[in-house]
């Protein structure tokens, strides 16, 4: 039986199932023997609006709460990216005004910090209390709530309407996408812009980056599917640009239909996209076959290394790694521990497989032979930072876009 689309209610055709999974960011304290929450991880494509989506989303309160494990500011390259993002929005859309900028999913303030520094009035909406507090400590006004239409109207009444609404890596996390878009409509000034950025489905498919699929990512946007969702709220896509962050992302700028010029990039990228076949279920069946092959190759590579007595550790206890580790059945037999710089993850065990997470200092003192790069989306930053590991003969194992040793 087909599942109804979360966006338009039509049939969703399943194309990949990972089976039962633990939550991507539910790190376990050693000695905690309570059973872990599990859910069925599967994705499909809507036959009508072509939105790729999870078949059974997990209730949002189980994912975003007072102990959310991801702090955006753990990557210096991402901090640079958001500094440029803020500068671009400011100079392109906000000059000559006394604007209000509202950011959804503002996390620890990685982007809004730059609006504060520029003296621009801003407000973050962040439901995960721990990361919201980190932002407040940095002096960033933050409301600790899930964004929806009710909250949007409250903000508009209290603070006035927003000239720009920003949402980086958050729209794809919001199951009630139409509720969020209605909220944006209510909150935005008539001339305002919505600038959002999310992992791009075209890159996910072409790089076989199946580890982007996990509980928090409910939607996997293409230009066409996101354009269609926004269009039903009278928004028009006026600009789009590819971004290399998070393994291949797309930045989209929307405005009220007919209010601004549509940039040529929109037409160009739509053309490129139509050649990728992102609305064709056949593309996703081929993707599933590549995912299955990638899994077999990674298992075989790790089995060979461990049979030879090689010591492998993981690098970056990412959300994505929970999918890879549990889908490939990796254990401490394959990976001794995972190095991660996030204090809240250190000393804990990874969801499902219970691989210990260790601070980077442990990795530096340990000199393992191989490091499996789970934070592959930060490859440039990590390789630069860990040049000493590489020059001492340490080897990097990767699995996106292909399984191999760098």
Stretch that binds ligand DWN, among 5-13, 255-263, 272-280, 373-381 (CB under 6 A): 373-381
CB of 143 to ligand DWN, least distance (A): 20
**Interacting positions 227-266 with ligand DWN (CB under 6 A):** 246
Q: Is 385 in the site for ligand DWN (CB under 6 A)?
A: yes
Phi, psi of 312 (to 5 degrees): -115, 135
- Nearest to ligand DWN of 114, 378 (CB atom): 378
* 242, 198 Cβ separation under 8 angstroms: no
Number of alpha carbons in the 13 Å side-chain half-sphere of residue 114: 19
Stretch that binds ligand SAH, among 17-25, 165-173, 273-281, 351-359 (CB under 6 A): 165-173
**DSSP state string for 208-263:** T-GGG-STT--EE--HHHHHHHHHTTTEEEEEEEEE-GGGSEEEEEEEETTSSPPP
- Nearest to ligand SAH of 64, 214 (CB atom): 64
Look up residue 322 and give its two tokens: 């929970």
d(CA 44, CA 201): 13
Q: Which of 235, 170, 230 is nearest to 199 (CA)?
A: 170
Angle between helix 149-159 and helix 177-187 axes, rounded to 10 deg: 20
Q: Which of 129, 111, 295, 269 is nearest to 213 (CA)?
A: 295
Sole binder of ligand SAH in the list 27, 147, 252, 376 (CB under 6 A) = 147
User: How many residues of this chain bind ligand SAH (CB under 6 A)?
Assistant: 21
Look up residue 174 and give its two tokens: 């919001």
* 156, 128 Cβ separation under 8 angstroms: no
By a kind-dependent CB cut-off of 5 to 8 A, residue 126 interacts, out of ligand DWN, ligand SAH, none, with: ligand SAH
* 194, 238 Cβ separation under 8 angstroms: no
Stretch that binds ligand DWN, among 133-141, 155-163, 327-335, 372-380 (CB under 6 A): 372-380
- Give strand pairing partners of 312: 370
Q: Is 202 in the site for ligand SAH (CB under 6 A)?
A: no
Q: Is 102 in the site for ligand SAH (CB under 6 A)?
A: no
Q: Is 243 in the site for ligand SAH (CB under 6 A)?
A: no
By a kind-dependent CB cut-off of 5 to 8 A, residue 131 interacts, out of ligand SAH, ligand DWN, none, with: ligand SAH
Stretch that binds ligand DWN, among 84-92, 119-127, 279-287, 318-326 (CB under 6 A): 318-326
CB of 79 to ligand DWN, least distance (A): 10
Sole binder of ligand DWN in the list 7, 42, 52, 74 (CB under 6 A) = 74
Phi, psi of 343 (to 5 degrees): -55, -40
Element (DSSP H or E) covering residue 396: strand 395-398
Q: Is 377 in the site for ligand DWN (CB under 6 A)?
A: yes
Sole binder of ligand DWN in the list 50, 53, 75, 225 (CB under 6 A) = 75
Look up residue 324 and give its two tokens: 């890879």
**DSSP state string for 270-281:** HHHHHHHTTT-H
d(CA 373, CA 329): 17
By a kind-dependent CB cut-off of 5 to 8 A, residue 165 interacts, out of ligand DWN, ligand SAH, none, with: none
Sole binder of ligand DWN in the list 81, 251, 348, 378 (CB under 6 A) = 378
* 388, 365 Cβ separation under 8 angstroms: no
Look up residue 297 and give its two tokens: 């190759």
User: How many residues of this chain bind ligand DWN (CB under 6 A)?
Assistant: 22
CB of 127 to ligand SAH, least distance (A): 5
Sole binder of ligand DWN in the list 79, 133, 342, 390 (CB under 6 A) = 342
d(CA 117, CA 341): 26
By a kind-dependent CB cut-off of 5 to 8 A, residue 105 interacts, out of ligand DWN, ligand SAH, none, with: ligand SAH
By a kind-dependent CB cut-off of 5 to 8 A, residue 147 interacts, out of ligand DWN, ligand SAH, none, with: ligand SAH
Residues at the contact surface with ligand SAH, assessed by CB under 6 A: 60, 64, 68, 70, 72, 104-105, 107, 110, 125-128, 131, 146-147, 168-170, 173-174
Residues at the contact surface with ligand DWN, assessed by CB under 6 A: 70, 74-75, 169, 216, 246, 316-320, 339-342, 345, 375, 377-378, 381-382, 385
């Amino acid at each position: 039986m087909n599942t109804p689309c979360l966006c338009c209610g039509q049939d969703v055709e399943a194309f990949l199932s990972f089976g039962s999974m633990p939550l991507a960011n539910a790190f376990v304290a050693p000695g905690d023997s309570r059973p872990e929450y599990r859910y069925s991880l599967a994705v499909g494509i809507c036959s009508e609006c072509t939105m790729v989506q999870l078949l059974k989303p997990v209730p949002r309160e189980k994912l975003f709460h007072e102990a959310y494990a991801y702090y955006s500011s753990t990557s210096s390259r991402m901090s640079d990216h958001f500094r440029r993002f803020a500068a671009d929005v400011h100079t392109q859309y906000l000059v000559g005004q006394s604007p209000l900028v509202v950011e959804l999913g503002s996390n620890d303030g990685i982007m809004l910090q730059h609006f504060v520094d520029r003296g621009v009035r801003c407000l973050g909406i962040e439901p995960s209390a721990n990361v919201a507090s980190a932002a407040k400590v940095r002096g960033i006004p933050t409301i600790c709530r899930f964004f929806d239409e009710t909250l949007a109207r409250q903000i508009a009444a209290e603070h006035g309407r927003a000239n720009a609404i920003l949402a980086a890596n958050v729209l794809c996390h919001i199951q009630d996408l139409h509720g969020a878009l209605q909220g944006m409509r209510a909150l935005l000034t008539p001339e305002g812009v919505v600038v959002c950025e999310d992992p791009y489905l075209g890159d996910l498919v072409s790089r076989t980056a199946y580890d982007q699929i996990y509980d928090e990512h409910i939607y996997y946007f293409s230009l066409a599917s996101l354009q269609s969702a926004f269009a039903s709220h009278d928004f028009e896509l006026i600009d789009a640009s590819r971004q290399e962050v998070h393994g291949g992302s797309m930045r989209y700028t929307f405005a009220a239909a007919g209010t601004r010029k549509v940039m040529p990039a929109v037409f160009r990228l739509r053309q490129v996209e139509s050649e990728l076949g992102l609305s064709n279920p056949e593309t996703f069946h081929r993707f599933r076959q590549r995912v299955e092959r990638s899994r077999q190759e990674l298992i075989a590579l790790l089995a060979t290394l461990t049979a030879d007595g090689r010591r492998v550790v993981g690098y970056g206890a990412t959300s994505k790694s929970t999918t890879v580790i549990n889908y490939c059945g990796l254990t401490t037999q394959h990976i001794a521990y995972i190095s991660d710089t996030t204090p809240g993850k250190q000393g804990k065990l990874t969801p499902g497989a219970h691989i210990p997470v260790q601070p980077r200092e442990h990795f530096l003192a340990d000199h393992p032979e191989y490091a499996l790069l789970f934070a592959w989306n930060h490859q440039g930053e990590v390789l630069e930072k860990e040049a000493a590991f590489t020059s001492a003969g340490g080897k990097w194992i990767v699995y996106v876009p292909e399984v191999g040793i760098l």
